[in-house]
Amino acid sequence: MNTNISIKDQLNDSHDHDLCIEEAIQNAELICKKKGLRFTKIRKKVLELIWVSHKPLGAYDVLDALRSEGLKAEPPTVYRALGFLIEAELVHRLDSLNAFIGCIDPSNSHQGQFLICLDCRSVTELGDDDILKLVQSKASNMGFSAIHQMLEIQGRCKSCRALK
């Protein structure tokens, strides 16, 4: 897999944001059904909120959004929903931002690399198999068995660099 989809690219004039969210929810429903997982109302709402912004959201951002919509949610509820969505491979957790972003290809289990803009917080998911294999090979050469990879690279996107 070599997905190279910028969140900024998804927000151009031809991007149908409502369709994007709808597809993410439909994919999640199919994946959960296939895996025998319960895609509850709160899990669905949390996933929708993550996809609404196309930017990484922290758990408390999700909590605030739920409450602003009149849902009585507490932090443990949000963290359980986010944990489920990560386990189901529907969202990724970006450790450096302590935030979550929707997975662009949840039907294919994968580990990713993310380019994170320090200025606008846009995220590009690379999903480059060559990078994955290189890290696995280097780790193996050192006697290390790599089980999970999540590479986060911080810098500035093209748009923000143009503003400087």
| Residue 7: per-residue pLDDT | 41
Q: What are the tens digits of pLDDT across the range 61-105?
A: 999 999 999 998 999 999 999 999 999 999 999 999 999 999 988
2 and 113 in contact (C-beta within 8 Å)? no
Report the domain count for the chain: 1
Token look-up 């500035």 returns 156
Please say if the pLDDT value at position 135 is more than 70.
Answer: yes
| Residue 3: per-residue pLDDT | 40
| Residue 112: per-residue pLDDT | 81
Question: Which is nearest to 155 in space by CA: 120, 116, 128?
Answer: 116
Task: Give the domain range for residue 55.
Answer: 5-163
Mean pLDDT, residues 134-158 taken together: 93
| Residue 14: per-residue pLDDT | 55
Mean pLDDT, residues 45-54 taken together: 91
Task: State the Cα–Cα distance between residues 4 and 26, nearest whole angstrom.
Answer: 22
Mean pLDDT, residues 17-42 taken together: 92
pTM confidence score: 0.83
Question: Judging by DSSP bridges, how do beta strands 5-6 and 91-94 pair with one another?
Answer: unpaired
Please say if the pLDDT value at position 9 is more than 60.
Answer: no
| Residue 6: per-residue pLDDT | 41
Read off the CATH number of the domain in which 9 is found. 1.10.10.10
> Confidence class of residue 111 from pLDDT cuts 50, 70 and 90?
confident
Q: What phi and psi, each to the nearest 5 degrees, are found at residue 95?
A: -60, -40
